[in-house]
Chains A and B, each alone.
Chain A
Amino acid sequence: MKLAEMRESLKDFWGEFKKEKTGVFGLILFAIFMFIVIFEPFLLPFEDANTRWRDISYWQDWPKSSPPAWTNWFTSDKKAVTEQLTEFKENSQDLGAMVMKEFTFDYDYQFDDAPNDIIIHGNASGQPIVVVNIIRPDGTDLEVYQSTYNAGERPKDIRISVDNSSRDIIYNFAKKFETPEDLSKVKPGLIKTTNGIFAKAESGILRNPVALKGDYQIKITAILRSKADNMETPYIVLPGKVSGVLGTDSQKRDIWTGVLAGVKWALLIGILTAIVSVAIGVIYGVISAYLGGWKDALMQRVFEIFVSVPLLPVLIVLSAVFEPSIWTMVLMMALFFWTGSVKTVRSMAMQIKEETFIEASKALGASNFRIIFKHMVPILIPYSFSSIALFIPGAVVYEATISLLGLGDSQIVTWGQILSDALHSGAVLNGLWWWVVPPGLAIAFMGMAFAFIGFSMDKILHPKLRTR
């Protein structure tokens, strides 16, 4: 086929395709997925998620199994949303013998249910004394933390969890407001620190705290006694009761990040597997049909053997035994997927073989190779595209299934692995729907996108199935 001819037929095809509403919808979905892949660095809330997905320390500040932030819209009792405070006012005071560095953070608290903790981070070196004060909207100044750090010469990340370190301080602050009778019912070691910090200073602060809304100031003071002491780049994490677009899992990971990071792998696995297997299948089918005779018979026997393999069990055993990377997994799937298109291709090639132009090129002395790849395979290209589209969902689902069994590539984040973690951590049992639904929905949407595209192409290519 000439290039101009090809462009013309492509134009015709697009004209037809445009009329298929579902096909266009599939293309839009595909475009969205591509958009996510291309702009992933800007979309990911956690930049290092791709490399540190399984690193517990990377996620340690986030809340465990918290629902998505938007669940607040449907409840009257607003739960604190996980927040990271990075903006602060810095104030340095030189007192001669020592330097006092003050970092003041503003936190606008407008929820009914307090965050789980206040976690303070900063880079410290030497032996700074770190003091944390919380100034409440009612003017109370709570000194919740004071300690000397021994950080060493190199700047080191320090982490202060207010929830753990200031339980006694909050208890002592709050007990003034409770009657002795109520106080006797409270165990000092079991109170929730943040509940006290974010509650109105009145009777019931320990037992039924009422949120005190307004502007809180969190002041971090670093007292530096020598030149070697320093503290800089502080930030505060307030792990809430709800967080992010899709909440967090039981290992404190942000699920939205995982779902976004999984898009590229699903696309890669799906498209690569589909292209490789359809290419093999088409070439195999054409060669088989063209050669004919005993060669065809032999090739059909080999094909039959591959068809008789129960795909998933074999893939599972192969993965269990060989522990594949993503690339070997694609190869393994392509090894069995190619059979899907052989039968149709062979019957189509049988017809093409009898066409006069094949006879003509044979008479002109064209080689078999030339006839197969120059004359026969190109005719099957439109068919190949529709089967590529229809193969993709299968490949994505198979990868997810193998990952579900815990046999996937552990270097990457795929939807199947997120679901596997969910299943093994009892997300189904505990009703953590925000962990189970999104990754599966993503798989279903990807399947849908290519099913829509593929079926629409099929419809155009097989006019017989068209509605009357």
Chain B
Amino acid sequence: MYWKFALKRVINAVIIYIILIFIFSALFNVQMEQTVYAQIDENIKMETMQLTDMKPDEIKQWAEQRKEFYYKRYNLDKSVFERVVIRATDALIFNYGNSSIIRSSGGSRDVRTIVLETIPRTLLLFMTAMVIDVLLGFWLGIKKAQKPGKGLDKTTSVATMVVYGMPSWWLGMLMIMAFAYMFKIFPSGGFVSTPPPPHGTWAYFVDVLYHLILPVLTLVIIGFWGRAFLTRNIVLSTLQEDYIMSARARGIPERKVLYGHALRSAAPPIVTMGLLALIVSFGGNIIYEGIFSWPGMGNLYWISVQQNDIPVLMGNLSLTTGLYITGLAVLDLIYGFLDPRIKVGGKA
């Protein structure tokens, strides 16, 4: 039964991904093609410069031929609809073409290489923040739910609302100003020091960790209040269920009611909703990497926007969308697995 549900969810995710890629391809087709035209012109110019033994009008004719050849090669002679379909299929098999300016650390201009090398760094940053965030939030949320309306609950609830509309990148700017420039405790940004310690050594690991502290700290400060508030609300509404009342009536100690009864049914939604909030924050906070020059996917958005590198922008968007959809699907799978009350496989 669960496998049927899982398969259905995965297929669903794949279909959504395909539809979104098609929409993106159609939406940004014109801009993508402009860069292709520019690249073709550049190529032809380079080629004509190498020709020395030709008359001017011969060169002109030759350039026309080359143009036709390239247009054919990049399918620019086909109809708009066909071009969109070809572009979308290319994106679906992760073939994003070449960038116009940006190069990967290895010097490659292949967009896939450029984006792929940023993904692990982004995951490292957001996963670390997520783990700390959920643990802290869970702990604080239970504390809050134990004594609702009392001092701790009230103050932390107010803190939740204070950071509610605070941009994470702004807090990041303040943190850098305070802890990197005023008190020189942490580095102001980057992934490793320059020059980096030798790859794969203990020192390298420590160096990355050292660079990770400030961005993770900022994300946690912004995030964990919300997680605590959510935990509190879920635990509190569970505590008002009838079976909790009957457990209390039976004289079961409050601690046991909370940890044994309430948390058992409250844990799955807390975990999954915490994860959901973090996946959403991945979609909404990704830009924040740019403040810390953390060389992940978010930073790549900054660079590609500033350099106006459309192919990289599009490739990055496709892969971000893919990751995002995967995250949501995994979340649903975990949810279905953790909470047997959900009617998996049946009518939603």
Contact = CB atoms under 8 A, between A and B. Distances in A.
Contacts of A401: 167, 169, 287
A238 interface: no
A397 B165 contact: yes
Interface residues on A, range: 35 or more
A190 interface: no
A309 B287 contact: no
Contacts of A447: 164-166
Interface string B147-179: 011000100011011111111011101101100
Interface string A330-361: 00000000000000000000000000000000
Contacts, number: 148
A433 B16 contact: no
Contact of B283 (A300, A312, A443): A312
Contacts of A311: 280, 283-284
Contacts of B237: 464-465
Interface string A433-458: 10011001001101110111001000
A310 B153 contact: no
B316 A313 contact: yes
B71 interface: no
Decide if the interface of chain B is mainly helix, strand, loop or mixed: helix
Interface stretch (A129-137, A157-165, A316-324): A316-324
Interface string B231-271: 00100110010000000000000000000000000000000
B132 interface: no
A452 to B, nearest CB: 5
Contacts of B173: 419, 422-423, 428, 436, 440
Contacts of B167: 397, 400-401, 440, 443-444
Contacts of A440: 166-167, 170-171, 173-174
Nearest to B149: A467
Contact of A437 (B157, B174, B302, B320): B174
B125 interface: no
Given A312-B286, A312-B287, A393-B165, A443 B170 contact: yes
Given A404-B287, A405-B305, A436-B173, A444 B162 contact: yes
A308 B165 contact: no
Interface residues of B, number: 63
B219 interface: no
Given A314-B317, A467-B149, A405 B162 contact: no
A393 B306 CA distance: 26
Interface in B291-308: 291, 301-302, 305-306, 308
B321 A308 contact: yes
Contacts of B94: none
A305 B169 CA distance: 28
B245 to A, nearest CB: 12
B127 interface: no
Nearest to B323: A310
A187 interface: no
B20 interface: yes
A22 B229 CA distance: 15
Given A312-B284, A401-B287, A304 B12 contact: yes
Nearest to A422: B173
Interface string B130-153: 000000000000000000110001
A396 interface: yes
Contact of A443 (B28, B153, B166): B166
Interface string A382-395: 00000000001110
Contacts of A433: 177
B326 to A, nearest CB: 10
A310 B165 contact: no
Contact of A313 (B27, B166, B177, B286): B286
A467 B148 CA distance: 5
Contact of A444 (B13, B160, B166, B313): B166
B31 A321 contact: yes
A306 to B, nearest CB: 10
Contacts of B116: none
A448 B166 CA distance: 8
A3 interface: no
Given A447-B165, A450-B165, A428 B158 contact: no
B333 to A, nearest CB: 15
Contacts of A406: 305-306
A406 B174 CA distance: 20
Contact of A468 (B19, B149, B306, B316): B149
Contact of B177 (A400, A428, A467): A428
Interface string B312-326: 011011001101110
A346 to B, nearest CB: 11
B270 to A, nearest CB: 15
B62 interface: no
Contact of A423 (B157, B160, B181, B291): B291
A396 B165 contact: yes
A405 B149 contact: no
A431 B171 CA distance: 14
Contacts of A465: 233, 236-237
Contacts of A309: 20, 321, 324
A312 B27 CA distance: 16
Contacts of B283: 310-313
A224 interface: no
Contacts of A451: 160-162, 164-165
B149 to A, nearest CB: 3
Nearest to A430: B181
A407 interface: yes
A429 interface: yes
B38 interface: no
B277 interface: no
A450 B286 CA distance: 24
B93 interface: no
B316 to A, nearest CB: 7
Contact of B314 (A304, A317, A436): A317
Given A308-B20, A317-B313, A404 B169 contact: yes
A356 B201 CA distance: 71
Given A312-B285, A431-B182, 7 more contacts: A300-B348, A317-B24, A400-B167, A419-B173, A428-B173, A446-B165, A452-B161
- Give 8 closest A-B pairs by Cβ, nearest first: A447-B165, A393-B165, A467-B149, A440-B170, A451-B164, A310-B283, A451-B161, A467-B148
19 contacts: A22-B157, A304-B12, A305-B16, A305-B20, A308-B13, A308-B328, A310-B282, A312-B285, A313-B286, A317-B313, A320-B313, A397-B165, A401-B287, A436-B177, A443-B170, A446-B165, A448-B164, A451-B164, A465-B236
